[in-house]
Amino acid sequence: MTANDSRAVIRKWADSVNAGDIDVAVQNLAEDFVGHFSAMPQPVQGREGFKGMYMGFIKPAFPDQKITIEMHVDSGDRIAVQTSWTATHKGDFVGIPATGRTVHVPGTGIMRIVGDKIAEAWIQEDFLGIYQQLTAPEGQ
């Protein structure tokens, strides 16, 4: 697989998440996908694990999320990405009721590509930054 192919896999996954089409997003993951997400206490296992995490943790709180890939660097079967994530807080998120605020969160990730699927991902997002944006007094 070429670097362009790896980038296309990541773009297709991000585009489907941005469109809110989780069924297409999980089809871009290997069946034995493992996701290491900074906000999750344990790795997310498999397509259904990712779908459950997304539908239970992210989608209810941030239904209009948008992932933008700012930069990527390829090395063999791995691709490193720098992302920005933007979403409106419209539902409960870790005990914080909907605020209607838009959050902007930088992130980094490394994804291992096998064939045309994301087999493993290590994602680091500024979880504290999300919390601060949601709980800061208005205007700050």
Helix (H, G, I), strand (E, B) or coil at 103: strand
Rounded-to-integer distance, Cα 111 and Cα 81, Å:
8
140 found inside a domain? no
Helix (H, G, I), strand (E, B) or coil at 137: coil
Position 124 scores a pLDDT of 94
Cβ-based neighbour number of residue 54 at 10 Å: 18
Segment 34-64, tens digit of pLDDT: 999 988 889 999 999 999 999 998 999 999 9
Rounded-to-integer distance, Cα 51 and Cα 53, Å:
5
Domain that holds residue 23: 3-135
* CATH code of 97's domain: 3.10.450.50
The answer to whether 112 and 118 are in contact (CB under 8 A) is yes
Position 120 scores a pLDDT of 98
127 found inside a domain? yes
Mean pLDDT of 91-111: 95
Mean pLDDT of the chain: 92
Rounded-to-integer distance, Cα 68 and Cα 47, Å:
22
In total, how many domains does the chain have? 1
35 found inside a domain? yes
